[in-house]
Amino acid sequence: MSLPSRSAEAIISSLADTFEGLPAELRKAARYVTANPDEVAFRSMRAVAKHAGVSPATMIRLARALDLGNFGELRRAFQARLQARPASVLARARKAGATQPESRRANAIRRVIDEELAGIHACIEDLRDSDVEKAARLFAGARRVYVLGLRGIYPAAFQFHYAATMFTDKTILVDGGGGTHLDALRTAGSKDVALVFTCRPYPGEVLRALRFLRRRRAKIVAVTDGVLSPAARAATLTFNVPPAGAALLSAAVANVLVSRVLGAAFLAVHGPGAAAMLRRTDDQFSAFAVYDRDDASGAGG
């Protein structure tokens, strides 16, 4: 196999830079390519086009828009990316179980589990210590940290906010009854940071919030489904959670995983005041008997 003229990373970066200027069909193809790099590496051009919902000619035009000779050169770049990665536990497990007969219901359950595991595996591969530390220092240095995640991504936003309230009072969960949730952003400004969880299909409220935050010059940390996401294009820093196969939403467990990692990193850099706040939190939990405690073991439930 001849070496590709450009790396997969360079191709994805180029697509992110030029995405808004591409025709609609090329944007559709670009979304599929960036969200499904492993599929691009091994499927034929016709198969990739079919799964992307475009014509094979569109895939050729996309390759040319990237200054590549043909689709084969695009595929070789993604094959080289895969060869540089160690074989995943998930791939070995899938291969081992491929010959076992399963009922339709069992297959559906296994598919959901596989998709969540794939999302976790992809997140672990993409997470860089330097980015996690940068995000934590942005949170620690902010006046306020707004946390936004709507609909299916809400658990990840709530997890970060809930954990952070144990050691700081600067986080604000963008949430509220009666359609007032975005009112929480009213006082956002250049000294603030917004942690935004979102994936396709992007809620209109999230897109409006992103535009508002940019106008207010707040820094944005995005946890989203690829470089073509509107959140990624608006962000100071982005963490990628790939789409979960054929699911409508990005991998739910992987989003919560990233949320927990960022929360732990935030605590680690928060400073000496965190310990005192944690003690006050524990006192409050005890005073209100928030958790039923096992007197014999001393462990919280």
Per-residue pLDDT in tens (0 to 9) along the chain, 301 residues: 455 568 888 899 899 889 989 999 999 999 999 888 888 888 889 999 999 999 999 999 999 999 998 898 998 888 887 766 655 544 544 444 444 455 677 777 777 777 777 777 777 777 899 999 999 999 999 999 999 999 889 999 999 999 999 999 999 999 977 888 899 999 999 999 999 999 988 999 999 999 999 999 999 999 998 888 999 999 999 998 877 654 445 568 889 999 999 999 999 998 777 778 888 888 888 888 887 765 444 444 4
Any residues with CB less than 8 A from the CB of 41 and at least 6 apart, and which?
75, 78, 79, 81, 82
Contact yes or no for 271/260 (Cβ under 8 A): no
Token reading at 269? 């850099």
Cα distance between residue 234 and residue 58, in whole Å: 27
Output the CA torsion 220→234→257→240 (10° steps): -150
Say what the pLDDT of residue 5 is. Answer: 67
Contact yes or no for 173/288 (Cβ under 8 A): no
Handedness of CA 123, 116, 83, 80 (dihedral sign): negative
Contact yes or no for 140/146 (Cβ under 8 A): no
Contact yes or no for 194/213 (Cβ under 8 A): yes
Instruction: Determine phi and psi for 186, rounding to 5 degrees.
Output: -55, -40
Say what the pLDDT of residue 3 is. Answer: 52
Q: Strand 219-224 relative to strand 237-240: parallel, antiparallel, unpaired?
A: parallel
Say what the pLDDT of residue 270 is. Answer: 84
Residue 184's nearest CA partner among 216, 138, 139 is: 216
Cα distance between residue 238 and residue 221, in whole Å: 6
Say what the pLDDT of residue 78 is. Answer: 86
Say what the pLDDT of residue 61 is. Answer: 93
Token reading at 18? 């030029």
SS3 12: helix
Any residues with CB less than 8 A from the CB of 245 and at least 6 apart, and which?
111, 114, 115, 118
